[in-house]
Amino acid sequence: MTYKEVYLDNSSTTFMDPKVLDTYYETMKKYYGNPSSLHQLGVESEKKLKEAKSIVANTLKAKPQEILFTSGGTESNNIAIHGTINAFRNRGNKIITTKIEHPSVLEIFKYYESLGFEVIYLDVDESGVVNLEQLKTELNRETILVSIMVVNNEIGTEQPLWEIGQQIKANNPLCIFHVDAVQGYGKIDIDLLASNISLLSLSSHKLHGPKGVGALYVKDKLKIAPIMLGGGQQIGLRSGTENVPGFYAMAKACEKIFANNKQDTTKISKLRNYVWDKIKGSTKDALLLTPLDYSAPHILNTAFRGLKGEVLVHALESKGVFVSTGSACSSKQQGTSHVLKAIDVPKEYIEGAIRISFSRYNNEDDVCYAVEKIIEAVNELSLFMA
């Protein structure tokens, strides 16, 4: 039997927008000069690079010189966290994050914990919302960095950025606030100034841009330390010849995301809610893990009692539907999701979670087909668990 193919793993990665792909090819063919070269080809590439920074900056209401292009979200997070700690370690040795961050943040915090830094991993409630009272208690003059993702990559919870930023500002104005916005950028409103954000990480392949490209917003005049040394490109924070085609293609992808932002997020939110309503009404023992009222519109995480998420993912794959068990960056590792542990998912559900994530390219027909196959697979597998 030939099945329709429906891709609902957009939080892991997205396919490139065809027009962005065209832009990538054209830029690669025409702007091959090194942006650091003095001749005309180099100058033209440099102009393209500046244009790319200007486009991304506009989406954040920032300045072009505040945008640093990187190889993706992991590098952006590494530059932000290592750079802050190495620049300001003379101010104190306390750093704060949450228990549900991406591994590209948690692993750095574990590293500094091993070096003797005081590391606080904030609790979250059953919906994944950070404990603001605990944050307030832990902030003091020794705190040099708070790093919190705005949208959780597994369950979609949106954090109260404004409240977090205001608490930091009120309790330690010198503390740097870094936000991992890889899953939230283009999906929810982010106000850098109002939320007191100094550093913000982005990733191109989450928004229909090329893989291996990302960006970091660095607040004007903030002097963080570089984590690699070389030719001093990009204000000395990211040495190395710039990937002009990749950066420009990412910028065009960012521009497209914001061009139809409200329309697309409304559509995606309706598709997500439809899927949950159908699952809830047609399967036994489904548990909703995404807080629909305060989450990004593109992520739905649900768990089925007694089932294995990995088995369900492969059962759906055989029917042409592609979802995931959680973060793609850790899905092949053994063990239970640290995010689901942190929100205290009951043990009979914790291994049965799947993440269904949408993009603007999903339509009603695709989603109707997918949810039919999800219900079918869950009910088939449940027979073996009875």
Just list the catalytic residues. Answer: 329
Tokens representing 137 are: 């208690």
Tokens representing 253 are: 């992808």
DSSP character at residue 65: G
Q: Is the Cα torsion angle 68, 71, 72, 75 positive or negative in sign?
A: negative
- CB atoms inside a 10 Å sphere around CB 278: 17
Rounded to whole angstroms, how far apart are CA atoms 247 and 56? 10
* Whole-number Cα distances in Å, 322 to 3, 17, 154, 268, 356: 12, 19, 16, 17, 8
- CB atoms inside a 10 Å sphere around CB 173: 8
Task: Quickly list H helices, the chain.
Answer: 18-30, 40-60, 73-88, 103-114, 132-138, 161-171, 244-259, 261-282, 309-317, 338-342, 364-385
Rounded to whole angstroms, how far apart are CA atoms 149 and 295? 12
Beta bridge partners of 67: 217
Q: Is the Cα torsion angle 163, 164, 170, 171 positive or negative in sign?
A: positive
Q: What one-letter code names the amino acid at 17?
A: D
As a dihedral over the C-alpha atoms of residue 10, residue 177, residue 128, residue 339, rounded to 10 degrees, the angle is: 70
* Whole-number Cα distances in Å, 321 to 25, 130, 272, 357, 371: 30, 33, 15, 12, 9
Q: What are phi and psi of 28, to 5 degrees?
A: -65, -40
For residues 369 and 4, the answer to whether their CB atoms sit within 8 Å is yes
